[in-house]
Amino acid sequence: MRAITVEPGHAHSARLEDWLEPPVSEGAILVRTLALGVCGTDRDILDGHYGSAPPGARRLVLGHESLGVVEEAPRGSGFVPGDRVVGIVRHPDPLPCPACAAGEWDMCRNGLYTERGIKARHGFGAERFRLEPEFAVKVDPALGLAAVLAEPASVVAKAWDHVEGIGRRSAAFAPRTLLVTGAGPIGLLAAMIGRQRGLAIHVLDRNREGPKPTLVRALGGTYHASPASLGERVFDVVMECTAATPVIVEAIARCAPAGIVCLVGVSSPGGRANFDIGGFNRTLVLNNAVIFGTVNANRRHYESALLALAKAERAWREALITRRVPLARWPQALVAAPGDIKVVIEFDG
Ligand code: BGC
């Protein structure tokens, strides 16, 4: 079979190559790949800045946003051939730590977790891959190709889950306004879930045209192409999805009293900002504000992500996929182009 592989730590090392069929040790369920979503993490790995191959291997099968169809599944596994599935990215650390032991591998405490297509475990960017039943999530075929959004949506579902968990510190928590910074797939999915929870949505991004403003307006939200257009507004919940230093500073400054800022983007180190830490501390304390980071997702979040995607208007969720690239032209999918939201590599011809 063919697989997209990369040598972690080496820029421009990606290639489509003949690769061995996935061994049964990678899971009892054999899946034929339909589609693979591409995200910023994949680009970081391609640039040699992130990721690691499995122990003893030099190359890593890329890809963590999957959609496939089950070809073989053991009796009693809960899966049958023909089921559509996505794979869970993170696997618990081997000790396991208390979080991983409780099925919350997204909250791993010792950093020894592995991640498919990212950290020490082959990914889903191959014509076939295997899944353990505990790391396979069944998806409704009615979602079509949009089911490939389950993984990024799970990251956002977790972010919302934690915002609500933090909110429970006060009996009066009833957020009404949301600012999302960044109208990429994560930002738009965050806005989608915010809308489903009844918040008034504002999205800040630098694109003035293309599908992003339209998609925000279709949610009943307000699109801002510059911070100036936000005026003096502050927000009950802020979700920062750009990982860009000046935008992070802006996002923090837009937090309302008793508000929550959720940082979802993973930045590269070294982005310095001229930041008044005294003023920041004073505002944070006097406002009971919370700033927190969140990454990854556990099974519960995949399930709530799939419910949220199913609830969204079909045309809206499908419009998040702005480019479909056949496997034969895979390099085109890895280069960002203007107007891209989610780019997907199609494996099924
Ligand atoms: C993935 C997460 C992963 C994170 C850090 C993200 O792109 O969606 O599942 O935990 O990268 O590796």
- DSSP β-ladder status, 321-326 and 222-224: unpaired
| Confidence check: pLDDT of 123 > 90 | yes
Q: 315: buried, middle or exposed (CB in 10 Å: 19+, 13-18, 0-12)? A: exposed
pLDDT in tens, 267-285: 988 888 888 999 999 999 9
60 lines ligand 1 (CB under 6 A): no
Partners of 282 in beta bridges = none
Structure tokens at 165: 């968990």
pTM above 0.85, yes or no: yes
State in Å, rounded, how far the first CA of the chain is from the last one. Answer: 14
Give the ligand 1 atom nearest the CA of 119: 12
Tell me the CA–centroid distance for residue 95 and ligand 1, in Å: 21
The pLDDT tens digits of the residues spanning 162-197 come to 999 999 999 999 999 999 999 999 999 999 999 999
What gap in Å lies between CA 333 and CA 326, rounded to an integer? 9
> Of all atoms in ligand 1, which is nearest to the CA of residue 151?
8
Do the beta carbons of residue 56 and residue 19 sit within 8 Å?
no
Q: Residues 3-31: pLDDT tens digits?
A: 999 999 999 999 999 999 999 999 999 99
The two tokens of residue 3 are 């697989």
Q: Catalogue all structural domains in the chain, each as residue range(s) with its CATH number.
A: 2-150+297-346 (3.90.180.10), 154-293 (3.40.50.720)
Q: pLDDT band for position 233 (50/70/90)?
A: very high
Cβ neighbors of 165 (< 8 A, separation 6 or more) are none
pLDDT recorded at residue 252: 96
Q: Which of 286, 290, 275 is nearest to 240 (CA)?
A: 290
Q: What pLDDT score does 349 carry? A: 63
